[in-house]
Amino acid sequence: MENASAAFLNAVRRSMHAIRKAVGVGTVDPASLSAAERRQHSGWLLREAENASILALAAQGVAIKEIMRRVDKSRGLVRQVVRGARTDMFRGRMSSLDPFLARLETAWADGCLNGAALWRAMKLVGFTGALRVVTEWATRKRKEEGTATRDKRPGRAPSARRIARMMTSDRDKPSKTAARTIMMIPEAVPDLTKARDLLDRFHRIIQHRKDDRLEQWIEDAKHGLMKSFASGIVQDQAAVTAALTEPWSNGQTEGQNTKLKLVKRQMYGRAGLDLLRARLLGAV
């Protein structure tokens, strides 16, 4: 079940480019960025150029080893780019103010336009940042309302892990922001919704020990974002089927292994067999 959840998280990560476009991450105007964000944006442009050169060579049929030599990058990075796992949209820097943006927007709309007053209000609800952080936000807000720079600043989308949680454990009682994001995903990345449904089905198969449904699940998962996980299930299908049908468990063995590793780590990994044996037998 844990491996299935990890496979779904990887599927979300591979879909982040489309998700961020769907939630409104637009074109970035470097002139609207702060100095730190401009440095971050320059690094992002460099990575995009590297990705483009690697993908162009791969499209010509050049082998990964030759691409490594030409672009002077590691094998792991080249394989990551070729598999589409390094594409990303530029996002502005995270700020200590981010969790309070909704409250700030509400207060601003209600007519509180003074930076110091906003800062005092945010302090009451847990904000620990400096006054300058809020006053700079208020200054940018005034400029945005006076000019058309709002759409030029980098948008910010939830992380892949947060989106995976929105689509699974948090979907029964989502916040308004989460609900809007989840509503955009089926249209932007329909395969991701199918992967979520496959994850739910697999968890139910394990929870209710429905071994007769495993074959159909594997067949349905062969062509989609969960196909790699399904291939792993096929390779180990006898063990998975046994786990669904047999009353036995290796939990006791795994527990003893965990205990042994814990004792060894307590001695900084330097314990010999005699000392480990003495400690384990003494604990029993």
Number of domains forming the structure of the chain: 4
CA 57 centroid distance within chain = 28
Residue 196 lies in a domain: yes
Q: Are residues 227 and 167 in the same domain?
A: yes
Instruction: Write the pLDDT tens digit of every residue in 231-284.
Output: 999 999 998 999 889 888 888 888 988 988 888 888 877 778 888 888 877 755
Under the banding of pLDDT at 50, 70 and 90, the label for residue 6 is: very high
Site of tokens 């948090």: 170
Chain position carrying tokens 């006076």? 146
Which has more pLDDT, 105 or 151?
Answer: 105
| Alpha carbon of residue 133 to chain centroid | 27
Q: Is residue 227 part of a domain?
A: yes
Please, where are the H alpha helices in 23-91?
35-59, 64-71, 75-82
Q: Which tokens go with 245?
A: 């049908």
Are 207 and 272 members of one domain? no
Whole domain around residue 71: which residue ranges?
25-82
Residue 4 lies in a domain: no
- The reply to whether 88 falls in a domain is no
Per-residue pLDDT at 153: 46
Rounded to 5 degrees, φ, ψ at 153 are -80, 150
For 181, the token pair is: 């994001």
pLDDT (0 to 100) of residue 205: 93
Q: Of 125-129, 130-134, 204-208, where does the model show the most confidence?
A: 204-208
CA 88 to chain centre: 12
Residues 71/57, Cβ–Cβ less than 8 Å: yes
Residue 52 lies in a domain: yes
The reply to whether 50 and 77 lie within a common domain is yes
Q: What is the pLDDT of residue 148?
A: 44
In terms of domains, do 105 and 121 share one? yes
Residue 123 inside a domain? The answer is yes
Choose between 33 and 258: higher pLDDT.
Answer: 258
Please check whether residue 78 lies inside any domain of the structure.
yes
- Across 19-28, 84-93, 120-129, 264-273, least confident range: 84-93
Residues 6 or more apart whose CB falls under 8 angstroms from that of 88 comprise 16, 17, 44, 47
Structure confidence by residue, pLDDT tens digits, 34-74: 666 677 778 878 888 888 899 899 999 999 999 999 989 89
Statement to judge: residues 171 and 225 lie in one domain: yes
182 with 238, same domain: the answer is: yes
CA angle, residues 165, 166, 172, in degrees to nearest 5: 110
Are residue 75 and residue 112 in the same domain, yes or no?
A: no
pLDDT band, residue 217 (cuts 50/70/90): very high
Cβ contact 244:211 at 8 Å: yes
Structure confidence at residue 195 (pLDDT)? 93
Same domain, 176 and 200: yes
Does 241 share its domain with 256?
no
pLDDT given for residue 126 in this prediction: 87
* pTM of the shown model: 0.56
Residue 5 has pLDDT above 50, yes or no: yes
Residue 135 lies inside a defined structural domain of this protein: yes
Q: Which amino acid is at 67?
A: I
